[in-house]
Amino acid sequence: MLKDELRSRLGRLPFWLLRRAGQRLPEAARSDVVDEWNAELEFILRETEGLPLSRLVRGTRYSADMLLRGAPGVAREMGEGRDLRDRLAERVASALARRSSWRNLFPEGRHIYYEGDDPAGFVEEVRVKFGFDPAADPNWGIRIGEREGFDSYSFHCPAELLDSIYSGRFPMGS
């Protein structure tokens, strides 16, 4: 009789662990998620009928994983943990953006190339908007190659203008 009692109680252990895991979830989604986990557990245990030790090990392994890793992960995705994680991610991204700006990456400025179709328009816009003349650089408008050559429009850009000029507004190369 004791043996049957012990087998019965141990057989319920994986389901008890899943109920405990469910208590870690937001209440609104708890019953649906726990029902899904119970169905998965039933499927896992299906092949262990008549093998109480194998049944206990397989069921407990799955249920313990849901308790220790599954439930906290689901709770983060569904609950306030997600909001906190998103806020932290935004702060980190903002800090990284500040640190990795072109100005910080190249504090002495950088030699860059205008790759658009309107170099004169680019020069005029940069002069008006930033008070800087890329055409004053001796490398601006140099002919590269003889027969089928092209004009190269490169200039040294001061560090304080790198982020504005590399903003995606102008077709720039490096």
Angle between helices 71-78 and 80-99 (to 10 degrees): 70
**Residue 158 DSSP code:** P
- pLDDT at residue number 120: 93
Asked if 114 and 134 count as a contact pair (C-beta separation under 8 A), the reply is: yes
Which single residue is written with the structure tokens 């903002």? 94
- pLDDT at residue number 143: 83
Ranges of each domain in the chain: 2-83, 106-173
Per-residue confidence of the chain (174 residues) as pLDDT tens digits? 666 666 666 778 888 888 888 887 777 777 788 888 788 878 888 887 777 777 888 888 887 777 777 777 777 666 654 555 566 666 666 665 555 577 778 889 888 888 888 999 999 999 999 999 999 999 998 887 777 778 889 899 998 898 888 777 888 776
- pLDDT at residue number 134: 94
- pLDDT at residue number 147: 72
- pLDDT at residue number 51: 76
Distance linking the first and last C-alpha atoms of the chain: 82
CA-wise closest residue to 25 among 89, 85, 88, 82: 82
